Structure 1
Amino acid sequence: MTDTHDTRESARHRAGSAGADGADGAGLDARLVVERGAFRLDVALTASPGDVVALLGPNGAGKTTALRALAGLIPLSDGHLRLDGAELDRTPPESRPVGVVFQDYLLFPHLTALDNVAFGPRCHGTPKAAARAQAAAWLERMGLARHAGSKPRRLSGGQAQRVALARALATHPRLLLLDEPLAALDARTRLDVRAQLRHHLADFEAVAVLVTHDPLDAMVLADHLVVVEDGRIVQEGSPADIARHPRTDYIAHLVGLNLYRGEAQGHAVHLDDGPEITTTEELTGPVCVAFPPSAVTLYRDRPAGSSARNLWRCEVAGLETHGDQIRADLTGELPLAAALTTVAAAELDLRPGATVWAAVKAAQTHAYPA
């Protein structure tokens, strides 16, 4: 991802230079507080021009509520919303320099792709001919020039997504909002469109905020992840940092790690609800310990002379096929997930209810402050 991030750094530099004449506070500075019945969203977001921020979280976490608050579709109960130093709290949605790509794209069915893209500039007072010329240029940029005369029903899912993105960008927004932009696509199309979207976001010189529940979309498209659960931020940082240091069970599940919390004393971590785990790190105080399912070795009988410092007696609770591997969910002394080949699973005669011994070498664990 080096080329993409280098391009984003160039975009930030250009935006910073453009604002050096007095445009203080360039970018997004928001604290979004929305109260809706028993649910309360309280999320702070800051981003510089050129940043792509992903809001990641389970259904009902408040991601879409945050996005709609940024767009002005939901009023704030408290907090603030500033974009490039301008207060937007009370600015009507149609007057905000904000572009939105909705999950289902919401293209106007009676308009061609060209006129869908031209709609935004027309609403901002651009004459029809000039707006259509701008729209044609955006469709060319998106690789959709030959579909300019097509109506949405004639477009594939990937083409419709790119038309929606062109429509959002045609007004030159200072904030681009993307609500699950790849969710409506099949797996094969999603791969291609994700790569195209990553390219277009790399060239975008303002702030982009992406809402998704898909960790791959977030990891590939964003510079900065903000993980939201129950209306509040539980962790934020770079994709690499969050993937390596998950702090909630939800995040650990997304990135495919076993995660535990406990109290460290040297190389030993006494878990809050379970046995002790030996790690290579030497720490003191509250910590998290993580390791991948592939680090777990299973035995039907207690291994004699095993070099693993961590060994637990477990029971197979369930088995699932993941590509060419088998995932075993284990309960017992330490609930965990293990990954093994189909051949290894067959040789162990794994089945629900079977007793196994799970071993993890200390070198394959990772402990970090909680």
Structure 2
Amino acid sequence: MPSETKFPTEPVCLVFGDEDFLVRDRAKQIYKYWCSHAEGMDHEVIDGSVRNSEEAIGVLSKLDEALQTLPFFGGNKVVWLRGVNFLGDDRTASSLTVKDRLTELAKSWEAFDWQGVQLLISANKVDKRKSFFKTLKSFASIEDKSFSDKERGGRAAMVVRQRLSELGKKISPHVADELVLFAGTNLQQLYIESDKLALYIGERDEVVRQDVYEISTRTKQSKAFALADALGERNLPKLLRVLDEELWEVKLDNKKSPIALLYGLISKVRTMIFLREMIRMKWISPSNGYPQFKAQLEAIADDFLPEDRKFNPKLMHPYMLFNALGHARRYSEIELTRAMDILLQCNRQLVSSSTENTLVLQQALVQIVSKSS
């Protein structure tokens, strides 16, 4: 069964954040729910997108008038100030007249008789330091849809699970993470992917890994994982086939290059070295399933890890790391160190040698994958 969505009980609600899609979707949801329970017909939607402070003052005057005007046909009234773009820290929002008017309105709303009236405000950026927000927070419902880069991956998987739950479907955490790995962290795209999966599985209750593989859209970044994964699997025929496909795409797309392919392989080997070291330090266990691995990864103290994203396993996608954990066990530490040296020599050849790029990369990969004698 679809999960039951909660709605604010306070007469005033502010929904904001840097994910416009989530803000817009949630605000529409609240507005529709409030209107269906209001028993009135005089609801108002006011466009809050302005170009300057003069227009902002005009919008706030319309809002005040809408709140003060009683419903003509009786019942309750819902007012939606939609898409506000002057609550942040830009030039219009920083205008003294706009700030003063917002503060004045927020103070008046504290003592306002909200019986029969509900106010919904949706906005992009909101400056939490300003008195308008601080006053509103004391009596209104606040929903922040902003995500930091660090938490975006985890939140993205949560959005997938929530959306599928709304559609009456289930997905396990590791399958949701794999979808994010394939489709990226754009939340609007993940909503679309979730809807596609729900339609694809039909009467089935749960989305499984095979469904994600068969129907999900893959980003360019996730496609690039194919070459690195083949290296990790130590599967030479597959590795050379994928390399050939990637080099063909390089010829068709001037944004791609053999050097970029090489850097992807270097990143893969470096990740496998990280994982073997983490096993040696007993931070993670190679025999754990994905949920246990993810929990162990999150438990590692930040002080033990570098700040640079390229070298910090906690800032990498957890499912990608879990997948690489099995790959790391196919190589010894000596072989991985040797692989980094081979890739360094490959880099030098690609930059300075006249040898064909295909031959240089093929030779390097054959050396890495071949068992040491």
TM bin (shorter chain): 0.3 to 0.5
Which structure has greater helix proportion? 2
Between structure 1 and structure 2, the one with the greater Rg is 2
When the two structures are superposed, what TM-score results if normalisation uses the length of structure 1? 0.32
When the two structures are superposed, what TM-score results if normalisation uses the length of structure 2? 0.32
Which structure has greater strand proportion? 1
